Structure 1
């Protein structure tokens, strides 16, 4: 079996141990929230009514509420959240806000070739509107429209870079080895493409908190610490039931992301895959000079098991990805978030990427569950005679797409066809994952195959080729 640059040039065990010894298992973004963005909100007690009830106060639920209030400022919108605003994926992701609605051009073009140009236009329009909304509502999410670098770290990935460049001529700059290393000084880089306008960076928790504040300022009511136990029919509407109360409304939106669906039809539609992240201490001016990175792009490498990383506004580096761990039984559990071998591997890969930063420490380490779907991007639908809309399965690229999803679900509830609802991507449901034990066997065999491809010049084995043929090929 071949090796990758991370095995050919690993960091020393002492450097890895030193970097992690004072880190704490905690989400940096949530720890970094100022107190005024973390108000105390009531729990749901007793019976309530609304025009629209939204289950979930992450990005998808918050954007949906805001768009509903934009369409009808007099609407009574209630959001019911199991824990607190943005505590799950919306508060702990990498902060990459991509224009793509399809998890990249290749995935979208393979699945919806007739629609890919339209989908990419809608994605760019969505990102532009995302930026405009934050400005209009005064949401300080540390939004930076800096674009993204896709970097090659192995020779076989250079051909993929040329394909990326050719698919995105309008906003894409190709960087050869010398040019990319002049931009960001990593000895692992062999080339890159810079998508200059299709990605922004955000502070994930500030984004969620800011959207929640904007929704409340426009009249929405958010109940926290209120996990929903049931979704019941109630005359011409639905009733969302918690342990201590309920909300009855003519329409409901389910924005529950990775957590078990309240609809039986969606129980097998997603699986939780755990992703791991490190955050460094702030770099000194000398350390930043050694790295460069003055254009502040988000960065991802081209491997199947890829890394993603980005600078923060206070001078840190977030570094995550590579391991994507599925646990038997589809469960979401806090104990899955502490995986020392994944954090050690990430730390080693960080210093392979930036050996000039050896001695730097990580202050935070954390993980979160990604709502993975078989089409590798969000799916949509309605239930209960059109009274309930849902979106899930963003597969790690939901920061920007959640805004689009909010409009799709409101369109579906309105029942009037729009450009969004006529998309095949919206109309067709992806294949479900199989039940256990087949799910664990298939997912883990796929992950092993992706790792093997990375170690064999990108060559995909029969399993991956078979998945590609039926529209199930994906990255880690």
Structure 2
């Protein structure tokens, strides 16, 4: 179906009382911030950024070598960025989708898939080991077809992925509507490997785990620059500094400390709504008792899932780039996008008309042209970075952290030998060219959704260059 962009008056009423804060972070379990760094110290490893990538890096580094002195620096509070604002989909995929991985690394895809499943098992094991209460559930993800042309695409993905060891199941119209009842659903695939999680509770649990194993955490500590020394790197902050043997950059969509990385990542804002808890009658009207994550198969797609207390999180569709790579708190509130999301929600679930939304928020995603994380080093190997997760970092961030540590330790592993790890995405042009190119590409993707999936000449050129704007 083609989603309407014009909200009805009754849709606007559903947004009348929303709080403009992320639902996950609006939680009394949120920990008190740690103190800021205000002196000069030394360390074996400094990790910059206390989101999922940074937390996993610090935790895994300490677990591998308890004697290693690890310092974790965060400009705001732990998980205040994308890690505390996302949908909580924990995918085994390291390539954003089976098809994206197949298009880019067909020869090593089987190994990447194997490592992805191993990575997800490692996340679950850590949650159990550190007793993290984060509503982790292996419910799987459903990808639905809302248009006829998408049905065969999903069927082919289910069949082709089986050759690589995946267990994706094709669901016809009756089967999908028996699971989740929407008049817009024509078919679907179910990937049982995907887990759902409360992302803020996970990030706070990892924070606690880091502290338990001896990581030194400083919050409210903005890193202002890096200075290379002969055998170390000086990490400068607003009120103190750390001289460290190694540095791991986990800043993702925020302005990078290595200027050249800004060519590889575009900060894109994603927006999310959360409903009030559903009544028994409302839940019976839609089914959805398995708590699967759901997404639709458009280029501009929605993703949605249920919470432990019976709400529906509904996000995606609009992906907004602001000129000059702007990242700022005021961009997290976009009323026109919230209204569009609400209208699309009630088109998908008309039986829930009258339901109200309690929270509306936005967050910034580190988008790269290949849709998967990439890695690299600087300052003679003393600094490593991982970024570019493009909205699929809740699960892949742990793998990204492992690769960073391999690189910093000079280890040759099955991870570092992957072409996916050795290669870089195609860079984006700088401004003033970046804005019109990104926005024209977004318009082209929307046009493809409106025209039976038919891609225009611009998208075909990007496909031929392997830039993969297909998600």
Asked if 1:271 is matched to 2:266, the reply is: yes
| 1:430 pairs with 2:401 | no
Specify the alignment match of 1:187 in structure 2.
183
Contact 1:92 1:367 in 2 (8 A): yes
Q: Which residue pairs with 2:239 in the alignment?
A: 244
Secondary structure, aligned partner of 1:437: coil
Give the match for residue 313 of structure 1. 308
- Find out whether 1:6 has 2:25 as its counterpart: no
Contact 1:305 1:475 (C-alpha < 8 Å) held by counterparts: no
In the superposition, relative to structure 1, how do residues 11 and 260 fare at CA in structure 2: closer, same or farther (>3 Å)? closer
Per-residue CA shift, 1:378-410, capped at 9, x if unaligned? 000111111011000100000000000111000
Give 1:160 shift.
Answer: 1.1
Describe how 1:177-256 pairs up with structure 2 within 5 A: 177-197=173-193, 199-256=194-251
| Shift in Å, 1:12 | 6.4
Indicate if the aligned counterparts of 1:239 and 1:247 stay in contact, CA closer than 8 A: yes
1:193 partner SS: strand
Deviation, 1:116, is: 1.0
CA distance in 2, matches of 1:5, 1:395: 24
Verify the 8 A CA contact 2:226 2:233 in the aligned structure 1: yes
Distance 1:200 1:66 in 2: 21
Compare 331-340 and 318-327 and name the one that shifted more: 331-340
Q: State the Cα distance separating 1:11 from its structure 2 match.
A: 8.6
Residues 229, 242 of structure 1: 8 Å contact kept? yes
Asked whether 1:93 is paired with 2:86, we answer: yes
Map of 2:77 onto structure 1? 84
Tell me the C-alpha RMSD between the 2 structures: 1.2
Q: 1:40 aligns with which of 23, 30, 33?
A: 33
Tell me, in whole angstroms, the C-alpha distance in 1 between the residues paired with 2:425 and 2:190.
31
Contact 1:148–1:195 under 8 Å retained in 2 = yes
The answer (yes or no) to whether the contact 1:11–1:351 under 8 Å persists in 2 is no
* SS of corresponding position for 2:263: coil
How does the TM-score come out when normalised to structure 2?
0.98
Aligned match of 1:17:
12
Q: Distance in 1 between matches of 2:243 and 2:254?
A: 22
Conservation of the 8 A alpha-carbon contact between 1:16 and 1:347 = yes
Q: Secondary structure at the match of 2:272?
A: strand
1:57 and 2:50 equivalent?
A: yes
Question: Shift of residue 329 of structure 1?
Answer: 0.4
2:124 matched to which residue of 1?
131
Long gaps (5+) in structure 1: none
The corresponding residue for 2:298 is 303
Shift of 1:141: 1.6
For the residues of structure 1 that align with 2:318 and 2:386, how far apart are their CA atoms? 26
Partner secondary structure for residue 441 of structure 2: helix
Task: Compute the displacement of 1:140 (Å).
Answer: 1.4
Q: Is the 8 A contact 2:2 2:450 kept in 1?
A: no
Structure 1 position 172, deviation (Å): 1.6
How far residue 33 of structure 1 moved from its aligned partner, in angstroms, is 4.5
Question: Given that residues 5 and 188 in structure 1 are in contact (C-alpha distance below 8 angstroms), is that contact kept between their aligned partners in structure 2?
Answer: no
Q: Which runs of 4+ in 1 moved over 4 A?
A: none
What is aligned with 2:108?
Answer: 115
**Counterpart Cα distance in 1 of 2:153 and 2:6:** 27
| CA deviation vs aligned residue, 1:247-275 (integer Å, no higher than 9, x gap) | 11100100001011111221211011111
Summarize deviations over 1:63-111 as a string: whole Å, max 9, x none: 0001101110121110000000000000000100111111111111111
**Match of residue 168 from structure 2:** 172
Please point out which of 380, 394, 402 is paired with 2:375.
Answer: 380
Contact 1:55 1:79 survives alignment (8 Å) = yes
Quick one: distance in 1 between partners of 2:27 and 2:137?
A: 18
- Aligned equivalents of 1:433 and 1:408: distance in 2? 24
Structure 2 residue 13 is the aligned partner of structure 1 residue 28:
no
Change over 3 Å in CA distance of 1:288–1:245 after alignment to 2: same
**Aligned 8 A contact 1:11 1:349 in 2:** no
Contact 1:151–1:190 (8 Å) recurs in 2: yes
**Is the contact made by 2:6 and 2:340 (CA closer than 8 Å) also made in structure 1?**
no
Q: Secondary structure at the match of 2:55?
A: helix
Alpha carbons 2:33, 2:77 under 8 Å: kept: no
2:256 to 248, 254, 261: 261
Q: State the alpha-carbon separation in 2 of the partners of residues 81 and 475 from structure 1.
A: 33
Q: How many residues align?
A: 468
